[in-house]
A and B are shown apart, each in its own frame.
Chain A
Amino acid sequence: MTAEVELGEPQAVPISADEDVVRVRQLVRTVAVATKLSLVDQTKLVTAASELARNTLVYGGGGGAEVTVLDSGRRKGIRIVFADDGPGIADLDLALTDGYTTGGGLGLGLSGARRLVDEFEIDTAVGRGTRITVTKWAR
């Protein structure tokens, strides 16, 4: 973790409408291909990004995603940060439970996305918004 180097500038996508979720998916797909993730890992990362971008829009009231390519010295990876200034998550354990939803969805967005990536961090507080950082490493 300590030897991680960022390769290039982070690429940012604002998330304020339905079509921005598509834009996030397209950017993540392009970067994942360029970073030579395997097809399954590309698919997992793009799927996770789709879930989290939708959460940023639907629950966070909009925000943005930032995609950065990393080099750990041994392998390359992709880090995506999803940030919003929405209401925040009051009960994180509950929000990370499969099937729990406040938005009428399937309740798999957050918990499912966590399973699809290698590293998952969440920073949230009521009234302070939510910041989710996910990382996927090339194998």
Chain B
Amino acid sequence: MERVPVLKIGDILLVSIQVDMQDQTALALQEDLADRIVATGCHGVIIDITGLDIVDSFVGRMLSSIASISRVLDAETVVVGMRPAVAITLVELGLSLDGIRTALNVERGMELLALARAAEPDDTGFDLGLDLDGFGSPATP
């Protein structure tokens, strides 16, 4: 069985799927990614599917699972590079890819992750529900 390589670039894990994956390969990718997120502490995952000429319900479910697993591990997932014909087919198939962020290409995906990271109130990953406006700015006399 082939394995899909997971690359670390800065604070981001990049997966570029280039092969017609067997179901087992897709499941292995899910596990590899979870391991790598924990091992590296990365906060973003980009999955490039430019190389996929179809996304069926199995791969669609894998993408949704990866997004959910990453979120639990404090990382955001962006799926990039979906071909137009694949998008049309996915919608007709009935897959909604719930909870998945998408971007047109890797560059836009990285921008999206940077924005998502910047919007977080602190680096712990917890939202304490505190109003942190002005937090860290010089105290007013």
Contact = CB atoms under 8 A, between A and B. Distances in A.
Interface residues of A, number: 27
Interface in B19-59: 20-24, 53-58
B95 A106 contact: yes
Contacts of A46: 53-54
Given A44-B89, A51-B56, 11 more contacts: A26-B20, A40-B88, A40-B89, A43-B85, A47-B55, A47-B89, A54-B23, A109-B57, A112-B94, A115-B92, A116-B93
Nearest to B55: A47
Contact of B93 (A29, A54, A108): A108
16 contacts: A22-B21, A22-B22, A43-B83, A44-B88, A44-B89, A47-B54, A47-B55, A51-B56, A54-B58, A105-B57, A105-B61, A106-B61, A108-B57, A111-B94, A112-B95, A115-B94
B65 to A, nearest CB: 11
Interface string B52-96: 011111101100000000000000000000011110110011110
Interface in A20-43: 21-22, 25-26, 29, 39-40, 42-43
Interface of B: 20-24, 53-58, 60-61, 83-86, 88-89, 92-95
B94 A40 contact: no
Given A46-B53, A50-B54, A108-B57, A40 B85 contact: yes
Contacts, number: 71
A18 interface: yes
Contact of A18 (B23, B57, B61, B84): B23
B103 to A, nearest CB: 21
Nearest 7 A/B pairs, CB to CB: A112-B93, A43-B85, A50-B56, A108-B57, A18-B22, A40-B85, A47-B54
Interface string A78-111: 0000000000000000000010000001101101
A115 B90 CA distance: 11
B31 to A, nearest CB: 16
